[in-house]
Structure 1
Amino acid sequence: MIELGAIAGIGLVAFGMVMTPGPNMIYLVSRSVLQGRTAAMISLGGVAVGFVVYLVAVSAGIAAVFALVPEIYLAIKLAGAGYLLWLAWKMIRAGGRPAAANRELTPDRPLKLFLMGLLTCLLNPKIAILYISLLPQFVDPERGNVAFQGLVLGLTQIAVGVAGNAFFIVTAGSVAGFFARNPVWQRVYSYAMGTALAGFAVRMATDRSSAAVALR
């Protein structure tokens, strides 16, 4: 039986993580502001599936593969950086258009929104490293099946992360009306979010740490 203190501990850590701005949060908030809460929630569904994929993959030993074959880790990391740069360019380009032109843009369809959320999550291999370095700290072999404990703790982290991002989506959605009345601020917001995503991309691409180092 897993200890409730371990669940509370991983929940607290997950809460701290979701409160720290990262690529997922920036993308979801920007989607909420520019296309609405429903669109952002669909993207959040993709992010959640990405978390589950990494949790299952970690159980299958993908983090060890990253450590043994650093080229795979590097390739995924660079692909993720490139994807974030593409998102940043879309945000900055939208900010450069007149407000009327932005309102006339065709909204992304649900499948595309879902896949973009999924890619935003999957193209960050450090999530796998996070799971394999963080979860064991809360697992107690004396309390039974270690794999089951890891699954419960991982799902706890996912639940807190999804709930936290949903809160930011709802809060950001209320800002959309203000931006509709103040197009100048919408452009400022687009530039700021695009710059933030570009910053994450550069940091990801230039980070010299390896999967093996991250696992220590």
Structure 2
Amino acid sequence: MSLAMILPMSAFALAASISPGPVNLVCLSSGTRYPLSQGLVFVTGATLGFVVLFVAVGLGLYSILAVVPGLKEALRWAGVAFLLYLSWRLFRDDGRLPEGGAQRAPGFMAGALLQWLNPKAWLAAASGIGAYTSGDLHQVILFAALYLPICWLSLGSWVYAGAFLRRYVYRPAVLLTVNRTLAVLLAGSCLFLLIE
């Protein structure tokens, strides 16, 4: 595959990965609340979850959604339920930074599961596969290999942005406001999932 294909694939992966969405908001929230290492565990799970989804879509999984009645709707509602659960947890948070690992950030499996329940991830995978591959396994694998570091670095940048904000939100009242704002935004993203 030529450099002429690798550059557009990389640009697509960057635009799809770094643009705001439910996973990015959870990364930002993790950065403000927890040690970087915990936020990056979530990032790793979300990245690997997406790459596996991407390859599966490239191998034809997306076509199953058209064939199996109700599967697309079931995924949509499961995604909404999971996002609302994460929003509820964030909204209920008291604004005190956890000490000594008293609370844990969303982990590896939450990141992977969130990608599989995230219509934005399905859309990014399907449109990327459709635009840049002809269904050839080698092209799909190359695209996935490009996506892996780009997605991880993009999501990681949201965690680091949260860690940067953490310096300014160390007071419980400020962090409570940030948490509730992020919780409302995360819950609001469900509206977009329902109207797609």
Task: State TM-score, norm by structure 2.
Answer: 0.89
TM superposition shift of 1:122: 1.3
Find runs of 4+ consecutive structure 1 residues off by over 3 angstroms: 102-105
Q: What is the CA–CA distance in structure 1 between the aligned matches of 2:132 and 2:60, rounded to whole Å?
A: 19
Contact 1:135 1:154 in 2 (8 A): no
**Does residue 201 of structure 1 match 2:196?**
no
The aligned counterpart of 1:128 is 122
Q: What is the CA–CA distance in structure 2 between the aligned matches of 1:34 and 1:170, rounded to whole Å?
A: 11
Contact 1:32 1:38 in 2 (8 A): no
Q: What is the CA–CA distance in structure 2 between the aligned matches of 1:121 and 1:188, rounded to whole Å?
A: 27
TM superposition shift of 1:184: 2.1
TM-superposition CA deviations, 1:167-212 (whole Å, max 9, x none): 22123212223222x32221110011000110112321x22x4xxx
TM superposition shift of 1:66: 0.4
Aligned residue among 102, 107, 117 for 2:103: 107
Contact 1:73 1:125 in 2 (8 A): no
The sequence identity of aligned pairs, in percent, is 21
Contact 2:58 2:129 in 1 (8 A): no
The aligned counterpart of 1:58 is 57
Counterpart mapping for 1:59-208 below 5 A: 59-94=58-93, 97=94, 99-100=95-96, 103=98, 106-108=102-104, 113-139=107-133, 146-180=136-170, 182-204=171-193, 206-207=194-195
TM superposition shift of 1:38: 0.8
**Residue range with higher mean Cα deviation, 50-59 or 33-42:** 50-59
TM superposition shift of 1:119: 1.5
Q: What is the CA–CA distance in structure 1 between the aligned matches of 2:164 and 2:118, rounded to whole Å?
A: 29
Q: Secondary structure at the match of 1:44?
A: helix
The aligned counterpart of 1:10 is 9
For structure 1, list consecutive stretches of 5 or more residues without a partner in the other structure. 210-216
Counterpart mapping for 1:19-58 below 5 A: 19-58=18-57
Q: What is the CA–CA distance in structure 2 between the aligned matches of 1:93 and 1:121, rounded to whole Å?
A: 23
Q: What is the CA–CA distance in structure 1 between the aligned matches of 2:55 and 2:169, rounded to whole Å?
A: 40
How large is the Cα RMSD of the aligned pairs? 2.1
Contact 2:116 2:122 in 1 (8 A): no
Q: What is the CA–CA distance in structure 2 between the aligned matches of 1:183 and 1:85, rounded to whole Å?
A: 23
Amino acid at match of 2:172: P
Instruction: Call closer, same or farther: CA 1:53–1:18 in 2, change over 3 Å.
Output: closer
Q: What is the CA–CA distance in structure 1 between the aligned matches of 2:129 and 2:156, rounded to whole Å?
A: 23
